[in-house]
Amino acid sequence: MLSFALKNMAIKKVQVILVAVSIIISAGVAVLAYNTANQVRDGITGTAGWYSAIIGPAGSKTQLAMNTMYFTDEPLGTIPYSVVSELQRDSRVKRVIPYAMADNYNGYRVVGTEPAFLESKEIAEGRMFDYAAEYEVVLGASVAKVCDVSVGDDIFTSHSASEQHTQPLKVVGILKESHSAYDRVVFTQLKTIWAVHEHEEEHEEEEEHEHEHMENSVCAAIVSTENPSFAMTLVSDYGGKIIADEDGDSVTLQAIEPMETVRGILEEIDSTKYIVYVLCAIILIMNVIVISIITLLNMYNSAKEISLMRLIGISMKKINLLYILQNGIIGLVSVLLAFAVSKICLRFMDTYASSMGVVLNTAKVYPMEWVILALVFAIAVLPTIICTFVMARRDSISE
Amino acid sequence: MIEIKGVSKTFKNETALDYRDIAFENGKSYMLLGASGCGKSTLLNMIAGILSPDKGEIIIDGKEMSAASQKEKDRFRIEKIGYIFQDFKLINEMSVADNINILRLEGVDTSRADELLEKLGIAEKKNKKVKHLSGGQKQRVAIVRALVKSPDIILADEPTGNLNYSIGEQVIKELTQAAQGKTLIAVTHDERLSRFFDCVIDMNSVTGTPYDAAQGKAVN
Considering only A262-276, A349-363, B40-54, B74-88, which range has the smallest mean pLDDT? A349-363
Answer with the residue of higher pLDDT: A383 or B123: B123
**Best CA proximity match to B172, nearest among B186, B182, B183:** B186
Does one domain contain both A91 and A239? yes
Q: ipTM score of the complex?
A: 0.79
Q: Which DSSP state fits B36?
A: B
Rounded CA separation A382/A157 (Å): 59
Domain-embedded: residue A398: no
Domain carrying residue A372: 2-44+264-393
Distances A331 to A380, A382, A384, B146 between C-alpha atoms, Å: 6, 10, 11, 35
Kindly determine whether residue B85 and residue A11, on different chains, have CB atoms separated by under 8 Å.
no
Does one domain contain both A245 and A295? no
Q: How many domains does chain A have?
A: 2
Where would I find the H helices in A49-102? 61-70, 81-89
Contact A112, A189 (CB under 8 A): yes
pLDDT at residue A111 in the model? 92
CA A26, A31, A32, A37 dihedral sign is positive
Q: Which DSSP state fits A176?
A: P
Domain-embedded: residue A236: yes
How large is the angle between the packed helices A2-10 and A316-353, nearest 10 degrees? 70
Does one domain contain both A150 and A212? yes
Does one domain contain both A237 and A355? no
Does one domain contain both A311 and A383? yes
Which residue among A217, A236, A256 closes a domain? A256
Gap between the terminal Cα atoms of chain A: 28
pLDDT at residue B122 in the model? 84
Answer with the residue of higher pLDDT: A303 or B60: B60
Closest residue on chain A to B101 (Cα): A4
The b-or-e profile of B191-220 (16+ CB within 10 A means b, else e) is eebeebbeeebebbebbebebeeeeeebee
Does one domain contain both A234 and A140? yes
Kindly determine whether residue B106 and residue A313, on different chains, have CB atoms separated by under 8 Å.
yes
Q: Per residue in B20-31, pLDDT tens?
A: 888 888 888 888
pLDDT range class, residue B39, cuts 50, 70, 90? confident
Contact A254, A64 (CB under 8 A): yes
Domain-embedded: residue A230: yes
pLDDT at residue A56 in the model? 92
Contact A41, A33 (CB under 8 A): no
Does one domain contain both A351 and A323? yes
Q: Which DSSP state fits A93?
A: E
Contact A272, A250 (CB under 8 A): no
Contacts of A11 in chain B (CB under 8 A): 91, 93-94
pLDDT range class, residue B167, cuts 50, 70, 90? confident
Does one domain contain both A126 and A144? yes
In this prediction, what percent of chain B has a pLDDT beyond 70? 90
Of B71, B83, B93, the CB nearest to A312: B83
Distances A226 to A49, A94, A96, A232, A332 between C-alpha atoms, Å: 15, 5, 11, 12, 53
Rounded CA separation A348/A361 (Å): 11
For residue B213, is pLDDT > 60?
A: no
Contacts of A302 in chain B (CB under 8 A): none
Counting as low any pLDDT under 70, the low residues of chain A are 46-50, 160-165, 197-215, 269, 351-359, 392-399
Does one domain contain both A33 and A63? no
Which residue among A222, A240, A256 closes a domain? A256
B81–chain A Cβ distance below 8 A for any pair: yes
Does one domain contain both A356 and A388? yes
Does one domain contain both A106 and A247? yes
B75–chain A Cβ distance below 8 A for any pair: yes
Which residue among A227, A256, A285 closes a domain? A256
Does one domain contain both A289 and A322? yes
pLDDT at residue A140 in the model? 92
pLDDT at residue B106 in the model? 84
pLDDT at residue A399 in the model? 42
Domain-embedded: residue A399: no
Closest residue on chain A to B77 (Cα): A313
Answer with the residue of higher pLDDT: B90 or B168: B90
Question: What region does B68 belong to: left with phi over 0, alpha with psi -120 to 50, or beta?
Answer: beta
Closest residue on chain A to B53 (Cα): A398
Q: Which domains does chain B have, with CATH numbers?
A: 2-218 (3.40.50.300)
